[in-house]
Amino acid sequence: MKKEFKFLYFAPYLLWLLLFVIAPVALIFYYSFFNVNHQFTLNNYITFFTSGTYLTMTANSVWFAFLITAMTLLISYPMAYFITKLKYRNLWILLVILPTWINLLLKAYAFIGLFSHNGLVNQIFNFFGIPAQQLLFTNTSFILVAAYIQIPFMVLPIYNSLLEINPSLVQASKDLGATSWQTFKKIIIPLSIPGIKSGVQIVFIPSLSLFMLSRLIGGNKIITLGTAVEEHFLTTMNWGMGSTIGVVLIISMFIVTILTHTSKKRRVAK
């Protein structure tokens, strides 16, 4: 009786997992073994790992994802830290999260407006006597906008792990003679590593495949894996190759997760 009840309780979640997580992943795996003519083949994988195009694309994606993640972390950590010090920190953190409620496409178009030749940024530049710059369709603007979009996802876990630090640890550190900066380096950063790790996980993977932004803001100069997936599914109709890239992305996600996994190892005194 009790067991059945428990099963009923979990059933919706299991169904959801099956339909929206397991089935799609299985389908991607399945399609990745077929060519355009629906014949079974390993060629998709062979192509991927031997062709210079795909490998450059992968390297590009990883490099840009790394830059975006680093940029996001650089902005988010101090931001999260200062918000924990504020009086109305719940309100501030809400303000940080607020932009995630707005559609990604809308935000992208907003940036196009800001960065365009006659956009606000160039108008401000003009005001200070700086000639109009090509801002849109540059790598810098792509990284900046991507970082902007990812900030809330980085701030939130870091903010939470900072809040979890017992304030008496900070006092103990100062009591033992540490300055605020030493306390920050030796106590606060190490204790907020779990938050940094989950922030990196959440930001790095989607950054590998930001095809919409690389097209709208980056001007499709950098072809990332995400763009390639989109092209294969919608333009060349090579679903097999698209799925293969998908599989590569899924596997790299696992690798990142494993690499950033907190392993509790014992330290040995010197």
Q: Contact residues for other proteins (CB under 8 A)?
A: 166, 168-169, 171-179, 182, 186-187, 190-191, 266-270
Contact between 142 and 218 (Cβ < 8 Å): yes
* Rounded Cα gap, residues 103 and 225, in angstroms: 22
Cβ nearer to other proteins, comparing 6 with 186: 186
121 contact partners, CB below 8 Å, separation of at least 6: 114, 115, 135
Minimum distance from residue 179 beta carbon to other proteins (Å): 6
- Minimum CB–partner distance for residue 168 and other proteins (Å): 4
In the complex with other proteins, the residue whose CB is nearer, 195 or 240, is 195
Which pair of tokens denotes residue 61? 């994606």
Q: How near is the Cβ of 187 to other proteins at its closest, in Å?
A: 6
CB of 73 to other proteins, least distance (A): 19
Q: Select 163 or 250, whichever has its Cβ closest to other proteins.
A: 163
With a CB cutoff of 8 Å and minimum separation 6, the contacts of 92 are 83, 86
- Least Å from the CB of residue 87 to other proteins: 14
When the beta carbons of 114 and 187 are compared against other proteins, the nearer one is 187
Residue placing its CB nearer to other proteins in the complex, 197 or 232: 197
Smallest distance, Å, CB 28 to other proteins?
40
Given a contact cutoff of 8 angstroms between Cβ atoms, the answer to whether 134 and 121 are in contact is no
Chain-centre distance for alpha carbon 262: 19
Closer residue to other proteins, CB minimum distance, 3 or 87:
87
- Which CB, 12 or 167, lies closer to other proteins? 167
Q: In Å, how far are 133, 139, 200, 267 from 109, measured between CA atoms?
A: 18, 17, 26, 50
Closest contact distance (angstroms) between CB of 167 and other proteins is 9
Residue type, 153: F
Contacts 24+ apart (CB under 8 A), 163-172: 163/84, 164/191, 165/191, 165/192
In 3D space, the residue among 168, 142, 155, 5 whose CA is nearest the CA of residue 80 turns out to be: 155
Measured from the Cβ of residue 233, the count of other Cβ atoms closer than 10 Å reads 17
